[in-house]
Amino acid sequence: MQIALNGRAALITGGSKGLGLAMAKAFAQAGGHVALVARGAEALAAAEAEIRDAAPTAKVAAIAADIRTAAGCEQAFNGAVRALGQVDILVNNAGTSQRGEFLSVSDALWQDDLDLKLFAAIRLCRLALPGMRDRRWGRIINVLNIGAKAPKAGSTPTSVSRAAGMALTKALANEFAPHNVLVNAMLVGIIESDQWVRRHAADKRNITWEEWKAEQGRAVPLGRIGKAEEFAALALLLASDQGGYVTGTAINVDGGASPVV
């Protein structure tokens, strides 16, 4: 079976790096068109070039926007529509890891986390859903974290923002299923990305990237951390016609790490 996107247009937040870039590349190689959204212009340009190389016939747009505000979300959505004509697939992926002891997390940090991980998804869904509903075809993928189902000590604010993202996923899946708009969440454990490259670089122990990855993967049942391409493969299925009977679910993509299904 060949999974194909047949010219569908995807808006991917956080598309300049890591999991977002891997998804954008997979979607473009499967015959989709992609709009990448992030703040940093340099990484966006590099990602755009990488995707054009990998999928020369795909339309690729790079949109610099900070999606923590309503204006930033509008800029991202309008830019994607200008470049691609419409948005058939929305991937709410942009995020950062914000966690700490509950008593040390300020209101400002809570607000920032909710703005990026919850409100951006709410606002972009509100912008994208009318078109998807009217065309009777749409896919929304919310990239979350396994802490959404199984929050650990010291995991706020991120686990709380992610749990809200899971509720948003289910509510929208139920509300828009009659319009053939499918909404799912993917819950990440540890998957290789720019985020982990930065963490390795900040580690003072002078160990290699391979040693560092092996160490991170030791506690994972599959014995290793994931690859961005493995994550992108599942996202592609959910974004395609072939994924047409899956909605309202939150899938762990974590090598078995989550203690709950």
Ligand X SMILES: NC(=O)c1ccc[n+]([C@@H]2O[C@H](COP(=O)([O-])OP(=O)(O)OC[C@H]3O[C@@H](n4cnc5c(N)ncnc54)[C@H](OP(=O)(O)O)[C@@H]3O)[C@@H](O)[C@H]2O)c1
Residues that bind ligand X (CB under 6 A): 13-14, 16-20, 37-40, 43, 66-68, 93-97, 116, 143, 145, 188, 190-191, 193-195
Least gap, CB of 178 to ligand X (angstroms):
29
Least gap, CB of 231 to ligand X (angstroms):
8
* Cβ distance to ligand X smaller for residue 95 or 243: 95
Strands 60-64 and 33-38: parallel
- Is 64 strand, coil or helix? strand
* Cβ distance to ligand X smaller for residue 181 or 225: 225
What is the distance between the alpha carbons of residues 211 and 132, in angstroms, rounded to a whole number?
45
Least gap, CB of 119 to ligand X (angstroms):
11
Least gap, CB of 191 to ligand X (angstroms):
4
Residue 116's alpha-carbon distances to 21, 56, 68, 145, 150, in angstroms, are: 18, 32, 5, 14, 21
The verdict on whether omega for the bond into residue 178 sits within 30 degrees of 0, i.e. cis, is no
Least gap, CB of 188 to ligand X (angstroms):
4
Least gap, CB of 18 to ligand X (angstroms):
2
* Cβ distance to ligand X smaller for residue 6 or 78: 78
Return the DSSP state at 151: P
* Cβ distance to ligand X smaller for residue 66 or 74: 66
Nearest to 72 by CA among 119, 107, 131: 119
> Helix H segments across the chain?
18-29, 41-54, 70-84, 107-114, 120-135, 158-176, 194-202, 209-217, 228-239
* Cβ distance to ligand X smaller for residue 155 or 240: 155
Q: Which residues contact 93 (CB under 8 A, 6 or more apart)?
A: 12, 13, 14, 15, 19, 20, 23, 141, 143
* Cβ distance to ligand X smaller for residue 20 or 243: 20
Residue with tokens 């802490």: 147
Least gap, CB of 240 to ligand X (angstroms):
20
* Cβ distance to ligand X smaller for residue 3 or 220: 220
